[in-house]
């Protein structure tokens, strides 16, 4: 079952897609969008989480710029529009919106009180920050770009964090990935997996770089991670 929920923040109401599992109470997982906003792929992620027993919640973090648009990676025009929005996007206010969403996710109808975060593309950095400073019970970061700028604050991460890196990511160089892995190696709360030959967004169902085998492996690891840390 799915619905739209308005999340209260200091700046206004953030619309969020919510997928509910059949059994309650359930842990919640906040799904953080790519540069293409809450497109068809993100509700599907929430629906799949609900099928596994989680409350899947995806807030529209571009709401201050434009509400309710739906882009994909299938055309140059959509890429250009997504990147234009990306450059207008403020990470600080988005992390605040995620914190508000997490707070709501702990207490909405059917919630168990535990909350995790999964971030894709643009959302991967915010998942990292949620693990570092926003009290997520668990966080998952897909693709990793931008997080390399925050590794100096990794000592603040007290929540379990799972990171999926695409070896051939066109937006995160091999050198950057090696530096990030080296900086985070040995951190007791961080688990990192690299996927050989995979490009950015390799788990995006229907995307140009979708890799079914690698996506299945990454998503299985994510589900096992959530089960251990959220129940």
114-128, 171-185, 191-205, 210-224: range with lowest mean pLDDT: 114-128
Q: What is the pLDDT of residues 33-89, one digit of tens each?
A: 765 444 557 888 999 999 999 999 999 888 787 655 554 455 566 556 656 666 666
Separation CA 216–CA 231 (nearest Å): 21
* Count of structural domains, the chain: 1
- What does the mean pLDDT of the chain come to? 83
Q: How much of the chain is in helix, strand and coil states, percent to nearest 5?
A: 40, 25, 35
List phi, psi (to 5°) of 148: -60, -25
Separation CA 231–CA 226 (nearest Å): 7
Alpha helices in the chain (DSSP H): 41-51, 76-88, 91-107, 122-133, 174-184, 212-230
Any idea which residues carry the catalytic annotation? 169, 200
| Contact indicator for 93, 61 with CB cutoff of 8 Å | no
Cβ contacts of 173 within 8 Å, gap of 6 or more: none
Average of per-residue pLDDT across 143-148: 63
**CATH code, 202:** 3.40.50.1820
Separation CA 195–CA 168 (nearest Å): 8
Q: Find the domain containing 12 and state its range.
A: 2-230
Cβ contacts of 220 within 8 Å, gap of 6 or more: none
Asked whether the whole model's pTM tops 0.75, one would answer: yes
């Amino acid at each position: 079952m799915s619905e739209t929920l308005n999340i209260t923040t200091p700046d206004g109401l953030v619309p969020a897609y919510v997928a509910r599992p059949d059994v309650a109470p359930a842990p919640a997982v906040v799904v953080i969008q790519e540069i293409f906003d809450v497109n068809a792929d993100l509700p599907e992620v929430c629906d799949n989480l609900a099928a596994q027993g989680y409350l899947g919640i995806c807030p529209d973090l571009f709401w201050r710029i434009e509400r309710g648009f739906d882009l994909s990676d299938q055309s140059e025009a959509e890429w250009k529009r997504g990147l234009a929005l990306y450059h207008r996007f403020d990470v600080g206010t988005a992390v605040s919106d995620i914190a508000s969403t997490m707070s709501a996710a702990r207490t909405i109808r059917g919630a168990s009180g535990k909350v995790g975060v999964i971030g894709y593309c643009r959302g991967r950095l915010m998942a990292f920050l949620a693990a570092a400073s926003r009290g997520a019970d668990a966080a998952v970061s897909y693709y990793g770009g931008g997080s390399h700028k925050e590794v100096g604050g990794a000592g603040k991460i007290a929540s379990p964090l799972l990171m999926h890196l695409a070896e051939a990511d066109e937006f995160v160089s091999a050198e950057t990935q090696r530096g990030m892995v080296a900086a985070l190696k040995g951190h007791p709360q961080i688990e990192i997996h690299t996927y050989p030959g995979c490009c950015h967004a390799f788990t995006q169902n229907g995307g140009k770089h979708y890799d079914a085998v690698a996506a299945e492996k990454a998503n299985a690891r994510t589900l096992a991670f959530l089960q251990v840390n959220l129940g």
